[in-house]
Structures are given as structure tokens and as C-alpha cells.
């Protein structure tokens, strides 16, 4: 039997051999040596993705409004209703931003904003229809689960009906925002105005019922414990077992600057450890995405040796993380260079992880 100091070893060996990790084994991996953890995650990643390339997508993140009634303690971006810095983009502005992104090769538009009390469901329907009318080939990968729950509440419609109407208007898939940590004791501290963990999962389940796909995220490094992180991974894995809805998982490290919550940013070691454990634990999710947006280019590149097979997107525009004082910018050529220098062939993909071209 392993001693306390190497209690992580059975879990690591199990993951490398292809066995499913238990929740206690997942927790134990947080005490494993980082180098061994990275090597194990890389081995699993290469087994799932033996192809010589690693991927990214060209997209734009359009934050249609910063007005929000949620008041999350970890968010530096939102402004309450009536604030002088609050805004809502006009339809013309949104279409112009999409036009600029398409000219740069974007195939995906990610629209997210606050929980605005006065933007009706019809505003989103009109916006999506306008985008699709002008750019029918662009994937609208937009609106987080909390935004869907919010629209359900203010419209009086069921979640499924809201999603059906948005899908008919042009919504293609859901990004994983708003998941934070899927444990309500954590959510009650960092995002008490947002949907519950069960509501978040319910939105994604309903989207699957309509034939839509989604990504999953985790924001870590604030008030949660490693047990909370693994509980979050477990709930994502369980829903994936049930539905197969998730195309990818993206762990993000909390950025405390300018937030009510404050604190110290998660270290690069903590980020890489959590990323590697995500790859080992989520045996049913095909893609793990690196977060160069919060960690920077070099750690994003290193993540390709810690279980990630994708560098996410170019994020032609990004405002939420930037509001917390962190701003890393990367072009498609920059992302391709990172992948190439990591020893892989860069490939541009679409939202569903279909390869569009190798570079």
C-alpha cells in the first residue's frame, strides 16, 4: 500500500492505463509531483489525439452589454443598472464587429454580456437573425447558461422554449461561461445572483435535447477547495456521460484585480496542475483547451505538454478578463507559431473541432 506521501500514485497509474478516476483519486492528484502529472496528462492527450496537429479557432468575443444585476464578486467587468459606464451595443455596432471579424477569417462569434434587466428575448432573436442574414456561414456560439436562465425568468418562458426560440433565430451552440464552480456553497459566495449549479446543468441538458452542443468551463483559484474543483469535474463528467453534449473543457484561473472578491492570482503551477487533472479526470470529453488569455502565451504553449490539445481562439476582442487588469493578445499567426514551436503542426478548426486547414 502506498504511504501518505504517494497516495496520488494509484490514481495517476489508473489514469495513464485508461481507467476512470474516482472522486477521491482526483483529489489525491493535487499532491502529485507536477512533472509526473504533466507527463501523465500528455500521455492521455496523445492517446486521444495521436494526430500531429494542435488546434485553434478564429473568433471574436462581443460583449454586447456590461450592465448586470448579478453582481458577481469575482467580476471586474460588470456595471449595475444606471451606472455611467454601463452600455448596450447597437445592432449596427454588433454587425460591424462581426464584419470586421469575418474579414480577419473568423468562423465563430461568441456573444456574452451581463444579466441585463431590460433586454428582452426578442432583442437577442433580432440580433442573431441579423447576423445570420448577413453572415450565414458564421457560427453563433453565444450566451452562457446564466444568461439563458435570466431570459427565462424575465420572459416567463421555460428554458427549453427560450432555447428553441434562440435556436430558430440562429443560435448554434452554447459557451461554457457561468459555470464557475458547480457547487452551490461556492456559488453562494462568489456569484449569489446567478443560476444554481443544477440550473446551469439543466440549461446544457436542454440544449442537448434540441441538438445543440456546448463547451464547459471552470473558474478556479478564488474561495474553492481542491475538493470543490474535483466535484465540479465530476458533475461535468456525469452530464457528458448522459448527453455527450460537450465538445471541450476549458479551465480558467481567477483574475482578482479590480474585483470585489480580491485575492492572489493562481500560480502557473496551480493552473498547469488543474489543467492536467482535468485531462485525466474528464475521460469522456475529447478536447481540453488551454487558457493563454489568462496565463499568457508561454504558459499557454506549455499547456500543450500538460494535457491540452487546443489553444482556444484568437479572441480578436476580449473585455472581461481585460477588466481585471490582464491583457494578452494573440493573432492567428501568433497562435500558429506557439503550436509549431511546441513541436506540433498548427491547424485552424471550427466550433465543432473540425479541421479547416493546417498551417
CA atoms within 13 A on the CB side of 226: 18
pLDDT at residue 258, as a whole number: 57
| Average of per-residue pLDDT values in the chain | 91
266-320 pLDDT, tens digit per residue, is 899 999 999 999 999 999 999 999 988 778 888 999 999 999 999 998 877 645 4
Q: Which three cell numbers stand for residue 327?
A: 491583457
Provide mean pLDDT across the span 172-198: 94
Extents of the domains making up the chain: 22-358
Give the integer Cα–Cα distance in Å for 321 and 329: 11
Architecture of the structural domain at 22-358: Alpha-Beta Barrel (3.20)
Give the integer Cα–Cα distance in Å for 168 and 116: 22
pLDDT at residue 21, as a whole number: 97
Short-list 114, 73, 85, CA closest to 259: 73
Provide mean pLDDT across the span 315-344: 70
Residue 156, sorted as left (phi over 0), alpha (psi -120 to 50) or beta, turns out to be left
Count other C-beta atoms under 10 Å from residue 269's C-beta.
Answer: 10
Q: Is the pLDDT of residue 153 over 60?
A: yes
Q: How confident is the model at residue 2 (pLDDT cuts 50, 70, 90)?
A: very low
pLDDT at residue 294, as a whole number: 76
Provide mean pLDDT across the span 165-188: 96
Q: Is the pLDDT of residue 164 over 60?
A: yes
Contact yes or no for 9/2 (Cβ under 8 A): yes
Provide mean pLDDT across the span 141-151: 96
Q: How confident is the model at residue 256 (pLDDT cuts 50, 70, 90)?
A: low
Provide mean pLDDT across the span 190-211: 96
Q: How confident is the model at residue 260 (pLDDT cuts 50, 70, 90)?
A: low
Provide mean pLDDT across the span 233-237: 98
Q: How confident is the model at residue 5 (pLDDT cuts 50, 70, 90)?
A: confident
Contact yes or no for 307/275 (Cβ under 8 A): yes
Provide mean pLDDT across the span 312-337: 65
Provide mean pLDDT across the span 230-240: 98
pLDDT at residue 322, as a whole number: 45
Q: Residue 241's Cα: distance from chain center in Å?
A: 19
**Which residue intervals of the chain are DSSP H helices?**
9-17, 23-28, 34-48, 91-103, 121-134, 145-155, 159-169, 184-190, 197-209, 226-243, 268-281, 292-295, 297-302, 320-323, 332-341
- What is the strand order of the sheet 345-349 is part of? 310-313, 53-57, 345-349, 355-358
74-104 pLDDT, tens digit per residue, is 677 788 889 999 999 999 999 999 999 999 8
Amino acid at each position: 500500500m502506498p504511504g501518505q506521501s504517494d497516495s496520488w500514485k494509484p490514481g495517476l497509474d489508473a489514469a495513464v492505463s485508461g481507467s476512470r478516476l474516482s472522486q477521491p483519486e482526483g483529489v489525491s492528484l493535487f499532491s502529485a509531483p507536477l512533472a509526473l502529472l504533466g507527463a501523465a496528462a500528455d500521455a492521455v492527450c496523445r492517446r486521444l489525439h495521436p494526430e500531429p496537429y494542435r488546434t485553434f479557432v478564429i473568433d471574436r468575443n462581443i460583449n454586447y452589454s456590461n450592465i448586470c444585476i448579478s453582481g458577481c464578486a469575482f467580476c471586474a467587468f460588470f456595471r449595475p443598472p444606471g451606472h455611467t459606464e454601463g452600455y448596450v451595443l447597437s445592432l449596427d455596432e454588433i454587425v460591424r464587429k462581426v464584419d470586421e471579424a469575418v474579414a480577419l477569417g473568423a468562423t465563430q462569434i461568441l456573444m456574452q454580456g451581463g444579466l441585463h434587466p431590460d433586454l428582452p428575448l426578442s432583442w437577442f432573436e433580432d440580433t442573431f437573425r441579423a447576423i445570420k442574414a448577413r453572415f450565414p456561414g458564421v457560427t453563433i456560439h453565444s450566451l452562457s447558461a446564466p444568461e439563458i436562465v435570466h431570459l427565462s425568468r424575465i420572459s416567463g418562458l421555460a428554458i427549453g422554449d427560450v432555447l428553441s426560440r434562440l435556436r430558430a433565430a440562429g443560435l448554434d451552440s452554447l459557451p461554457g461561461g457561468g459555470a464557475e464552480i458547480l457547487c452551490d456553497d461556492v456559488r453562494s459566495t462568489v456569484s449569489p445572483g446567478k443560476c444554481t449549479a443544477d440550473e446551469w446543468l439543466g440549461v446544457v441538458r436542454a440544449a442537448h435535447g434540441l441538438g445543440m452542443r456546448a463547451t464547459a468551463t471552470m473558474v478556479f483559484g478564488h474561495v474553492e477547495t481542491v475538493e470543490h474543483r474535483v466535484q465540479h469535474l465530476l458533475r461535468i463528467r456525469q452530464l457528458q456521460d448522459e448527453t455527450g453534449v460537450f465538445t471541450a473543457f476549458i479551465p480558467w484561473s481567477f483574475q482578482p484585480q479590480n474585483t470585489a472578491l480580491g485575492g492572489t492570482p493562481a500560480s502557473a503551477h496551480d493552473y498547469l496542475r488543474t489543467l492536467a487533472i482535468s485531462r485525466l479526470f474528464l475521460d469522456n470529453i475529447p478536447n481540453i483547451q488551454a487558457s493563454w488569455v489568462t496565463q499568457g502565451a508561454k504558459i499557454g504553449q506549455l499547456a500543450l505538454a500538460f494535457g491540452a490539445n487546443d489553444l482556444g481562439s484568437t479572441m480578436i476582442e476580449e473585455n472581461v478578463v481585460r477588466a481585471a487588469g490582464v491583457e494578452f493578445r494573440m493573432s492567428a499567426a501568433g497562435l500558429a507559431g506557439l503550436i509549431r514551436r511546441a513541436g506540433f503542426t498548427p491547424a485552424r478548426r471550427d466550433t465543432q473541432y473540425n479541421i479547416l486547414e493546417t498551417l
